[in-house]
Amino acid sequence: MEFYTMLEFDIFTKNWAYIFMGVAVITMLGWWLFLTGQDEE
Amino acid sequence: MNRRKFLGAMGVAGLGVAGAEKVLAAEDGVTGASVKDVKGLPDSYAVLFDVTRCIGCRQCEDACNYEQHLPEPDVDFFDTGVFQQIRRTDWKTYTVVNQYDDKPPGAGDLYRKIQCMHCLEPACAHSCFVKAFAKRHDGAVTYDPNVCVGCRYCMMACPFNIPAYEYHIALDPLVTKCTFCEHRLKDDREPACVEICPTGAMYFSTREEVLKEARVRVVNNPDKYQSHIYGEHEMGGTNWIYISGVPFEDVGMRMDLGTRAAGDYTSGALGGVPLIASFWPVLLVGAYAISKRREKIAKEERDSFVSQIIAEAGPEAGRRLAERLSRSETLDKAAIEEEVRKALNEAAAKTEREDH
Amino acid sequence: MSNHNHHDTGQSPWITPFNVIAGLIVLMGIYLTYLRFTGGLAAVTNLDDYYPWGIWISFDLLCGVALAAGGYTTAAACYIFGIKKYHAAVRPAVLTAFLGYALVVFALHYDVGQPWRLAYPIFVQQGTTSVLFEVGLCVFLYLTVLFLEWLPAPLEWLKLKRVRNIVIKLTLVLTVFGVILSTMHQSSLGALYLILPSKMHPLWFSSHLPIYFFVSSMFAGLSMVIFESTLSHRYYHNKMDKEHLEGTPHVTFGFAKAAAWIMAGYFFIKLFGVVLNDNWGYLPTFYGFIFSLEMLGFVALPAFLYAKGVRDKNVKLIKWTAVLAVFGIIFNRFNVSLVAYNYHLPSELKYFPALAEIGVTIFVVTVGLILFKLISTRMPIFYEHPDFKGSH
C-alpha cells in the first residue's frame, strides 16, 4: 500500500485491526471449547 | 514513536508492499505524519496569507459567498461595523476577516482572514465515524453531506474551530466549512477568495512553493516579519500558511497547538483496543477457570467429609450435613471441619439418647 | 418497609403520585420532541458552533453509560469470579444496564442532526480511525449482549422454557463478551477527548483519560447497584424472594468494599496525572479548586465513608455514600466535557443548557423509570421464577 497521509495509513490499518479483532474474539471462543472439550465434569 | 514505527513497518512488510518512499516525518514540511512510510503531499495546493498585506476590505468574504452560493449575509460586505467584534465561521460564512488592535498603537489596524486551514492530517477527518471528511491529494479537506450523521465530533476535534452546524434546520442539518474551492482546484484554479484579493495578501501555489515564498519574505525582511511560519508544523502542518509582522497571538492565532497531528493523540488509545479484544478473554476466562477449580476442590472435600460422617454416624446425619453444607456459602476447610464436628456431636448425642 | 407495600399490591389505582408526575413529564417530553424535530436543535438547545456537545452528551451519554456499568461489574463478580452470593443482584443490575444503554441510544436520536443515519457508521461507511466509531460499535454490540442477558426474564414470564434454557447456556460467553465490550467503550468515552488537547484544561487532559474513565466506571456501576437496591427495597420489598433479601447485605457490603478499594486506586492514578504533567501550578486556581473538590469531596471522601461503613457494618452510611459516589461520577463527567472543555474561551461564549434541553434529559430518565417499573413488577427480576428455581 502507498500512503500519502497518516490518515490514509490509519484508515487502512484500523480497518484490518477491526476485522482481526472479530477474528480474535471468535477464535478465542472456539479455542477454549477445543481446549476444554475432553475435560471431565 | 517506536511503537508506531514498528506498526508501520509491520503494515508494509506484512502485506508485501515494499518500496514505499521513505520521507522523514515533519522535517521537510510536507507531512505531519509520524509514520515513516507516509509520502506526504508536497505537490498539494496551498495558500500563503500575509497578515502585513491585508487591509480588511472583506472582498474575499463577498467572493466566497458568491462562489459557494451561500445565503445573503446579515450585514453588507462593505460594512466595516462588523469589525466591532471578533467573528467566526458559521453556517452561512466559510471565511471571515477580523480586525485586531494595532500594536504598537498607530502602526495601523491588523486584519486576519479565517477559513479552514486544510490540515495535512485533519482532526475532523480523523474523528469522523462515517469518513465524511477526506484529505484530497490536491490539498483540500472535503466533506460528504450524504453520509454525515450530525454527531458534530468534527467540531469538537477541530483545533481551529472551523466547522459549523446548521442548528436551525429541523431534519437534514449539515456541517459547513470552507471547501478550498475544490471545484476550482480540479481545474488548477485558485480559490475565489485568493483571486479577488486586491492587495495580493494571498499567494497560491504548491505547498512546497508556498513555504519557499514564505521563507524568502521572512528572511529578506527580518524587521518586518515574525520569524515563524504558521502552519508549517502546527497540528502536523496545514495547507494554509500564515506569516505576520506581529506575534501571532495578537491576531488571534494560538501558538500552543504543538506540532503533533490530532490523530496522533488518539492512536495510543485506539492501539490499545485490539489488545483488550484479544487479551481480556485470557484474563477473564482464566479467572473463571480458577474460581471453578476452587469450587470443584471444595466440593470434593465436602463430599469426602460427608462420606466420612456417613461411615461414622449413619446415613441420616450424613444427609443432613450434606444439605447444610450445600446451603453454606463458606467453603473453606475450617468451616467444613466445624460443620463436621457439630454433626458428629449431634450424632453422638442422638446415639446416647437412643441408648437410654 | 411494610407501609410501602400498598404501592404494588396489584389493585393499586391508576392515580398515584408516580403516575401523575411521570405522565406530566412524558407529555412535556412529547411536546419537546415535536419542537426538536420541527425547529431543529436551535429550538430546544443552547448548542452553538463553539459547543457542539451539551448536556445530552455530558449527562445522557457519558453519565448514562458510566452509571449503567453495574451490569458488567455485577455479572462479572457473579459468573466470572464465582461470587455466587451476588446472584440475586445480577438480574436487577442487568435490567438497569439494558434500559440504561437503550436510553442512551434513544437520547442520541435527539442529539445527532440526522438520527435515521445513526447506524451509518456500522452499516454504511466505517470511520475506523474515529474513537467515536469504536464507542458506537461497542455500544451497539453491548446493547445486543445486554438484551440477551436480560432475555431469560421475559422468557420465564412467557413460560418459553426451551428458548430460555438455550439463552441461559450462553451466560458465561455473554458475560465475558460484555466485560470486553464494556472495557473498550467505557475507556473510549474518555478517549473521545484525547483528540482535542488544545481545548481541554490540563488538569483533566491526560493521555490516561481512557483509563480514568474505565476505572471510574467500575465504582460508578457498583455504587449505582447499591443506590438502586436501596430504592428497590423501598418500593418492591414485597416482590423480593428469600434469596434476594438474604443476598442484599452481601451485595451492599461486598460492593462497598470493592468500590472503596477501586476508588483508592483511582485517586492515585488521577494524582499521577497531576504529577506526570506537572500540573501542580494549576491547583491554586479556580479550575484547581474544582479539580480538588472532585478529588477530595467526590473520590477520597466516599472511599473513606465506604470503608467506614464496611468496618462498622453501617448499611445506612453505605447507602448515603453510594449517592455521594454517583454524584461524584456525574461531577467528573461534567467537569471533563463542559468545565475543562473550551476552558480558554471568554465567559460570554460559554455554554449553559437551555431549560428545554434539561427537559429532554428529565424526560429520558423518566421513560427509563417507567420501563423499569413496568418490567420489574411483572417479570421475575427480584425473585426466581417458581418454575426455574435454582436452574441458573
Which of B226, B260, B294 is the last residue in one of the domains? B260
Domain shared by B80 and B207, yes or no = yes
Domain shared by B179 and B238, yes or no = yes
In this prediction, residue A7 carries a pLDDT of 93
B141: closest CA among B157, B158, B117?
A: B117
Q: Which domains can be identified in chain C, with CATH numbers? A: 17-386 (1.20.1630.10)
Q: What does the H/E/C string look like for B74-120?
A: CCCCCCHHHHHCCCCCECCECCEEEEECCCCCCCCCEEEEECCCCEC
Average pLDDT, chain B: 84
Is residue B279 within 8 angstroms of chain C, CB to CB? no
Grade residue B333 by pLDDT with cuts at 50, 70 and 90.
low
Domain shared by B34 and B83, yes or no = no
The vertex-C53 CA angle with C52 and C58, nearest 5°, equals: 170
Rg (CA), chain C: 21
Grade residue B336 by pLDDT with cuts at 50, 70 and 90.
low
Domain shared by B98 and B140, yes or no = yes
Pairwise CA distance, residues B31 & B231, whole Å = 11
Note whether residue B219 is domain-resident: yes
The verdict on whether omega for the bond into residue C210 sits within 30 degrees of 0, i.e. cis, is no
Partners of chain B (3+ Cβ pairs below 8 A)? A, C
Cβ separation of C118 and B284 shorter than 8 Å? Answer: no
Cβ separation of B172 and C76 shorter than 8 Å? Answer: no
Average pLDDT over residues C147-164: 91
Note whether residue B199 is domain-resident: yes
Domain shared by B128 and B192, yes or no = yes
Note whether residue B275 is domain-resident: no
Query: Looking at the predicted structure, is the pLDDT value of residue C256 above 90?
Result: yes
Average pLDDT over residues A3-21: 93
Query: Looking at the predicted structure, is the pLDDT value of residue C200 above 60?
Result: yes
Query: How many CB contacts within 8 angstroms connect chain B with chain C?
Result: 187
In this prediction, residue B301 carries a pLDDT of 84
Domain count, chain B: 3
Which of C128, C129, C173 lies closest to A29 in CB terms? C173
Question: Cell match 447456556: residue?
Answer: C169
In this prediction, residue B108 carries a pLDDT of 72
In this prediction, residue B20 carries a pLDDT of 35
Note whether residue B272 is domain-resident: no
- Alpha carbons within 13 A on the beta-carbon side of B174: 11
Give percent above pLDDT 90 in chain B. 62
Grade residue B223 by pLDDT with cuts at 50, 70 and 90.
very high
Cβ separation of B40 and A4 shorter than 8 Å? Answer: yes
Enumerate the residues of chain B whose CB falls inside 8 A of the CB of residue A32: 281, 285
The CATH number of the domain holding residue B127 is 3.30.70.20
Note whether residue B71 is domain-resident: yes
In this prediction, residue B312 carries a pLDDT of 72
In this prediction, residue C27 carries a pLDDT of 96
> What pLDDT, in 10s, does the model give residues C134-149?
999 999 999 999 999 9
Helix (H) or strand (E) holding C175: helix C171-191
Which of B8, B41, B282 lies closest to A5 in CB terms? B41
Which of B12, B20, B38 lies closest to A5 in CB terms? B38
Query: Looking at the predicted structure, is the pLDDT value of residue B6 above 70?
Result: no
Which residues, at least 6 apart from C140, have a Cβ–Cβ distance to it below 8 Å? C119, C122
Grade residue B22 by pLDDT with cuts at 50, 70 and 90.
very low
Domain shared by B2 and B119, yes or no = no
In this prediction, residue B23 carries a pLDDT of 32
Give percent above pLDDT 90 in chain C. 78
Average pLDDT over residues C221-238: 88
Partners of chain A (3+ Cβ pairs below 8 A)? B, C
> What pLDDT, in 10s, does the model give residues B165-176?
999 999 999 999
Is residue A41 within 8 angstroms of chain B, CB to CB? no
The one-character DSSP state at B70 is: P
The one-character DSSP state at B54 is: -
In this prediction, residue B36 carries a pLDDT of 60
Instruction: Dump the DSSP string for C200-254.
Output: B-TTT--TTHHHHHHHHHHHHHHHHHHHHHHHHHHHHGGG--HHHHHHHHHHHHH
Note whether residue B268 is domain-resident: no
Note whether residue B270 is domain-resident: no
Is residue B263 within 8 angstroms of chain A, CB to CB? yes
Domain shared by B177 and B80, yes or no = yes
> What pLDDT, in 10s, does the model give residues C311-341?
999 999 999 999 999 999 999 999 999 999 9
List the domain range (segments joined by +) for residue B19.
1-40
Complex ipTM: 0.92
Domain shared by B12 and B76, yes or no = no
Higher pLDDT among residues B103 and A27, named by residue: A27
Enumerate the residues of chain B whose CB falls inside 8 A of the CB of residue C343: none
Note whether residue B13 is domain-resident: yes
Which of A5, A24, A29 lies closest to B33 in CB terms? A5
Which of B213, B230, B260 is the last residue in one of the domains? B260
| B window 108-127, beta carbon within 8 A of C | 123, 125-127
Domain shared by B253 and B290, yes or no = no
Query: Looking at the predicted structure, is the pLDDT value of residue C213 above 80?
Result: yes
Cβ separation of A18 and C128 shorter than 8 Å? Answer: yes
Domain shared by B27 and B144, yes or no = no
Pairwise CA distance, residues B158 & B262, whole Å = 8
In this prediction, residue B2 carries a pLDDT of 45
In this prediction, residue B307 carries a pLDDT of 78
Chain centre to alpha carbon of residue B43: 26
Enumerate the residues of chain A whose CB falls inside 8 A of the CB of residue B19: none
Query: Which range in B306-315, C12-21, C99-108 is most confidently predicted, on average pLDDT?
Result: C99-108
Is residue B237 within 8 angstroms of chain A, CB to CB? no
- Nearest residue in A to B292, CA atom: A41
* Phi (first) and psi of residue C217, to 5 degrees: -65, -30
Domain shared by B72 and B168, yes or no = yes
Is residue C117 within 8 angstroms of chain B, CB to CB? yes
| Cell numbers found for residue C247 | 443476598
> What pLDDT, in 10s, does the model give residues C31-60?
999 999 999 999 999 999 999 999 999 999
Query: Looking at the predicted structure, is the pLDDT value of residue B9 above 90?
Result: no
Domain shared by B67 and B7, yes or no = no
